[in-house]
Structure 1
């Protein structure tokens, strides 16, 4: 009995300690890098949905959608319950309130049998775009409160830009825009690609001799070199599978770089 009681006390102590640590983690300050990681997971969801719009039988897209959902769900639950700044707090409340509804719809979409007629994802995409916008505003609000350039997540920003391009590329393939709007969207996509190329080249030049960062930055640069022309030649040349595959590789490499600095 004494041994059992000791075990209960020890277990209770551990659970209490874990609860305190979880509470402390929950109350931690939100950083721009943390918000970008949530945007990356959210945009992976958008990319996966567009892939399903192109091919509803794409099992890889379904698995990627479920993985991104799990990643964002974990990340959302690490957010604090409130923020001192009223404007930032309103943005936080909106993000947290949108997620349960979005998550249920993602579960539904990712588990519909492939033999069924593909459902419309317009409403879900619209709500996801709203959540992405709220996260962007929250990140900007938080960044403005930081002194100087503290913790500038430039590699994560580049990773997110890669996802924006992938998302927009796939969106153009499934959209039904008129000719004028389509041309404007294509020009914007190529502008983003040129911006990404300039930053990628600068990263490669800066870190080419770095003992640890050299490998991931060169891998990301090589992957980008392989798909850069796909953006330049769109819509005459359409290579969505390559964009998704190498874009994901670039995001992974850039995320590794961020952890080194």
Structure 2
């Protein structure tokens, strides 16, 4: 992020709002489900944040603030599917799993496979969401939510299979649908800009404006974006 304080502020607001998002899904404050949902949401996100902070500290020698807030968001995204069906104790375990696996996913995708994922969405949301969905099949209990189901630990192993099938279908639709849409966009307008435009910056190339025009260190040279550069970029996009 270009501003870590703003990233922390935004993540904090997101964390607070997530309580309403998850607990509000109960559609009522009575019965204990909504209250338990708030607790498990906070538990999993806190544990995941600590896991990310610890793992970043081990790997780099310094605890990372950005890693910590990414871990919190991963925990929020991961616990969401299971938040209305699991206990706080199991949310603690789920938070550990989310933290370790999603952090490892970032390392795998970005450093090993060299996949460009600027916001780490594939791990922070994708991997974490898969963990949370599968967790329902393991930790869900009708003692927590009488309107829900029991998972593997409570005598219903079939629920884990149901969750796995659901994850597979969602992944196929997500990846398949995205690939189709990207192919359409690629052939219509292109999905990459030229190296020259990347160097000048998309603020100027797409909007002819600079986001930091009042700060000298962020000034972008408007004169470098010429009609010739725009024409070259359009040709580049058509080729792609």
Please, what TM-score do these two structures have when normalized by structure 2?
Answer: 0.25
Q: Relative contact order (alpha carbons < 8 A, sep ≥ 6): 1 or 2 greater?
A: 1
Indicate the structure with greater helix content: 1
- Give the TM-score of the pair, scaled to structure 1: 0.24
